Amino acid sequence: MHEKLLTKLRGGETAVWLKSAKADFFDAEAARADVAAAEIRWQRFAPALARLFDTPGGLGRINSPLSEYPASLPAPAPVYVKADHSLPITACVKARGGIFGLLCVIEKIAQDAGLLKEQETYAILADEPARRILAEHTVVVASTGNLGYSIGVAAIGFGMQAEVHMSDDAKEWKKARLRELGATVVEHVGDYTSTVSSARTSVAERDKTHFIDDENSWDLFVGYAGAGEELAQQLKQANVDVSVEHPLVVYLPCGVGGAPGGITYGLKSIFGDAVVCVFVEPVNSACVFVALACDGALKSVYDVGLSNNTEADGLAVSRASELVLNKVGKQIDAVVAVPDKSMTDWVGKAWSNAALRLEPSATAGFAALEPFLQAIDADVTSNGTRPALKNIAQGTHVVWTTGGDLMPEDIFQQFL
Ligand SMILES: *Cc1c(COP(=O)(O)O)cnc(C)c1O
């Protein structure tokens, strides 16, 4: 137990958990096979996505640019921004895992209905006969906001019905947008974890109803993982070499753990020990932090006296995904817990320095740079024994910005 770290969290202070120096086995080959299988499904669906949604170059792919941050940061330059806050369709990272989870559901419905015969292109999913069949089906999802928003928007785009269960952290504007699009929004008084469980119960008995579960979903997890290969190609194009001597350090905002966990799975399968994956959580919702600091024993943030109250609604989760902890818990190199104030401050800085339109959750990576690098400096043990951490000053640092480009102007002005 890391009692000192937990005390910091309870006091609302920044805290950094570092993995012990011990190397843990990771089956990179199996992970690469999982990611390759997911990529094939993305490719199959590209013609349908291209017809139904606005995607870069009309290619039907959900990907985001990598760019250099144009101002100085508390990390060795250059620092890159992986701009998932501008992903097509939903302008947040859920467009990867959430939409992938939805595509799995759609593929099953279409196959069962005999729509996708051998040789048939998935473009037919945008045609009337397929839409009539999909319209009979309802997708149900529980969310703190962005997952429900993303799956709702995409499901409606495919002509399906969407029922979105929102926890009490969810922002009004996300609910209002969904209702405008024709989704049913069900509001819950509890937090994310309790919202998921009541949504799950409510669909159990209903016909043609599909629950997309973020808490323990393999489909979402591998949907996110494809981002690893995408980043690898972008770094190659930018002539950035990644090795233990020049490690890649990624800063990943973390809620239930699916998005950062899936991305970690993809990146570790490509770069192994040369990538350092840093998860970032709000102090009050530091569920992965707590689980790892308590040696993997699954604990909620309430158990250690934290409130789960945060302005970073995309990260307001009290209990980490068990699937994520099982799959990549031992691969997470560090977890940084940051106070709300530092995230909301970064909303303004990222806008004035770089014209990045970010919601508070999406700035967590910036807020983590300084405390993480200080903790590495102070941590003689890991410096001495883990080569990638020893070489962190020669590393390439990538801040993953995970949402915000579609925020209404008045909401954004309030954050500024
Ligand atoms: C959901 C979300 C995350 C984190 O994803 P998890 O799978 O919940 O860990 C990060 N940033 C934003 C903006 C999100 O909406």
Q: Which of 218, 253, 271 is the last residue of a domain?
A: 218
Torsion on CA atoms 242, 245, 248, 249, rounded to nearest 10: 180
Q: What is the pLDDT of residue 381?
A: 61
State in Å: Cα 217 to ligand 1 middle: 14
Cα–Cα distance, 259 to 262 (Å, whole number): 5
Q: Which residue minimizes the CA distance to atom 15 of ligand 1?
A: 314
Structure tokens at 332: 């997470």
Q: Which residue minimizes the CA distance to atom 10 of ligand 1?
A: 253
Q: What is the pLDDT of residue 384?
A: 58
State in Å: Cα 245 to ligand 1 middle: 30
Q: Is the same domain home to 366 and 274?
A: yes
Q: What is the pLDDT of residue 385?
A: 63
Q: Is the same domain home to 309 and 226?
A: yes
Any idea which residue has 């990576």 for tokens?
Answer: 365
Nearest ligand 1 atom, CA 220: 7
**Domain of residue 84, CATH code:** 3.40.50.1100
Q: Is the same domain home to 235 and 344?
A: yes
Task: For 367-397, write each residue's pLDDT tens digit.
Answer: 999 999 999 988 766 655 678 888 999 999 9
Ligand 1: which of 361, 363, 412 to mutate, judged by most atoms within 8 Å of the beta carbon? 361
Q: Is the same domain home to 99 and 83?
A: no
Cα–Cα distance, 220 to 213 (Å, whole number): 8
Nearest ligand 1 atom, CA 359: 13
Measured in degrees and rounded to the nearest 5, phi and psi for residue 361 equal -55, -35
Q: Which residue minimizes the CA distance to atom 1 of ligand 1?
A: 314
Q: Tens digit of pLDDT per residue, the chain (416 long)?
A: 588 999 999 999 999 999 987 778 899 999 999 999 999 999 999 999 999 999 999 999 999 999 999 999 999 888 999 999 999 999 999 999 999 999 999 999 999 999 988 778 999 999 999 999 999 999 999 887 889 999 999 999 999 999 999 888 788 888 898 999 999 999 888 787 888 888 888 887 789 999 998 778 999 999 999 999 999 999 999 999 999 999 999 999 999 999 999 999 999 999 999 999 999 999 999 999 999 998 867 689 999 999 999 999 889 999 999 999 999 999 999 999 999 999 999 999 999 999 999 999 999 999 999 999 999 988 766 655 678 888 999 999 999 999 999 999 999 999 88
Q: What is the pLDDT of residue 191?
A: 80
Task: For 79-95, write each residue's pLDDT tens digit.
Answer: 999 999 999 999 999 99
State in Å: Cα 207 to ligand 1 middle: 30
Which residues have CB under 6 Å of ligand 1? 92-94, 146, 253-260, 314-315, 359, 361-362, 402-403
Q: Is the same domain home to 281 and 225?
A: yes
Q: Is the same domain home to 296 and 390?
A: yes
Q: Is the same domain home to 268 and 411?
A: yes
Domain holding 13, by residue range, is: 2-92+220-415
Nearest ligand 1 atom, CA 403: 13
Q: Which of 167, 202, 218 is the last residue of a domain?
A: 218
Q: Which residue minimizes the CA distance to atom 2 of ligand 1?
A: 314
How far apart are the two ends of the chain, measured CA to CA in Å? Answer: 38
Measured in degrees and rounded to the nearest 5, phi and psi for residue 18 equal -115, 140
Q: Is the same domain home to 100 and 169?
A: yes
- Upper half-sphere CA count for residue 180 (Cβ side, 13 Å): 7
Domains in the chain, number: 2
Nearest ligand 1 atom, CA 258: 7
Q: Is the same domain home to 155 and 29?
A: no
Q: Is the same domain home to 70 and 142?
A: no
Q: Is the same domain home to 210 and 320?
A: no
State in Å: Cα 392 to ligand 1 middle: 26
State in Å: Cα 96 to ligand 1 middle: 11
Measured in degrees and rounded to the nearest 5, phi and psi for residue 16 equal -130, 125
Q: Which of 163, 197, 218 is the last residue of a domain?
A: 218
State in Å: Cα 361 to ligand 1 middle: 7
Ligand 1: which of 141, 323, 402 to mutate, judged by most atoms within 8 Å of the beta carbon? 402
pTM of the model: 0.96
Q: Is the same domain home to 7 and 102?
A: no
